[in-house]
Amino acid sequence: MTGVPETLLRWLEKSWTEEIRERILAGYHEARVTTLRVNTLKTRKSDIVRELGAMGWAWREVEWYEHALILPGRTEPEVLELPMAREGRVYLQSLSAMIPVRILNPQPGESILDMTAAPGGKTTQICAETGNKAGVTACERDSIRAERMKHNLSLQGARATVITGDARQLPDLLRFDRVLLDAPCTGSGTIQVLSEGGERQMTEGWKNRILDTQAALLAKGLSLLKPGGCLVYATCSVLQEENEQQVRQAVDRGWAESVPLEPFSGEIPFLPGETGLTVCPDRQYEGFFVSCLRRTDKGIPAASSMKRRGRKFRG
């Protein structure tokens, strides 16, 4: 299919039936609508809706998340020019990307780690959901992306400790109530044939390196949880290797228990799954996967036994 790498078509064949593959491929050809999240640290949704109405902009609510808005017929560059965006009162974010923090359910007073946090959309969402009353740590390996995240946090009025470095090298003595791992992935859920032009370059070797990174980050994240603490694992991929299989491997090794997740909205195009929720790409949603794991105290590898890469930390 034009615009979709042949390697990705083969990977999809390993993950899904023909019927589901056709749904995913159809989603790749949709022009996705613009969506935003109201930043409750700085404003109220009623104020944002009033401003949009005064400009003659249409908007729609999202049934499963009160702080999300859909802007039919509007582009992201148009939104970025608005005072509400320049002042950090709203944040451009896909609906799918808002799901993990909803599953994480962060609470005031908790210690929370966002392992691969840049550009900071989910970090600022955690801060907003807790009213800046949680101890939030955001980790990012790339120094340029980390600086961009600091800018976004400041603009949004979100309070978090930013650590520049590979989350796999976090000290073993750290412990968190909740961990969010929006893992590096192939991005197989985010393809938009109509807007991207050429095909993405995807190879087996590249995917295998990603799978290794995901597994190491997941093991590390589980090891940093307090007993009984929960980790939300997410990717913007629709490949079972990156999603269900990674979660199942952690469970089979005794590192964690899978927390059952029920589809919480009939509006979201969920695909069948056992250890998490997979979102099928369509006009409103990117392809995405999210699952929740509860730490057990059996056999989580220490950092010293894991292969580690990347920069050392600097706060």
Cis peptide before 119 (omega within 30 of 0): yes
Question: Whole-model pTM?
Answer: 0.93
Please, are residues 138 and 162 in contact by the beta-carbon 8 Å criterion?
A: yes
Report the sign of the C-alpha dihedral through residues 230, 235, 241, 244, in that order.
positive
Does the pLDDT at position 242 exceed 70? yes
Common-topology check for domains 6-32+95-305 and 33-93: no
pLDDT tens profile 13-64: 999 999 999 999 999 999 999 999 999 999 999 999 999 999 999 999 999 9
**Looking at 127, 236, 280, 292, which residue is catalytic?**
236
Write the single-letter amino acid at 119: P
* Model confidence band, residue 263 (pLDDT cutoffs 50, 70, 90): confident
Rounded Cα distance between 190 and 217, Å, is 22
Nearest CA among 241, 213, 231 for reference residue 293: 231
Rounded Cα distance between 16 and 235, Å, is 17
Strand 225-235 with 176-182, pairing: parallel
Does the pLDDT at position 313 exceed 60? no
Active site includes 280?
A: no
Nearest CA among 182, 191, 214 for reference residue 118: 182
pLDDT tens profile 162-220: 999 999 999 999 999 999 999 999 999 999 987 765 667 899 999 999 999 999 999 99
Identify the burial level of 194 via C-beta atoms within 10 angstroms of its C-beta, where 0-12 means exposed, 13-18 middle and 19 or more buried. Answer: exposed
Does the pLDDT at position 3 exceed 90? no
For the chain, what are the domain ranges? 6-32+95-305, 33-93
* Model confidence band, residue 309 (pLDDT cutoffs 50, 70, 90): very low
List of long-range contacts for 73-80, beta carbons under 8 Å, 24+ apart: 74/34, 75/34, 76/34, 78/34, 79/34, 79/36
Return the CATH fold of 33-93.
Answer: Alpha-Beta Plaits (3.30.70)
What integer pLDDT is reported at residue 194 of this predicted model? 73
Give bridge partners of residue 68 from the DSSP assignment. 37
Of 3.30.1180.10, 3.40.50.150, 3.40.91.50, 3.40.190.10, which CATH number belongs to 6-32+95-305?
3.40.50.150
Nearest CA among 37, 44, 41 for reference residue 155: 41
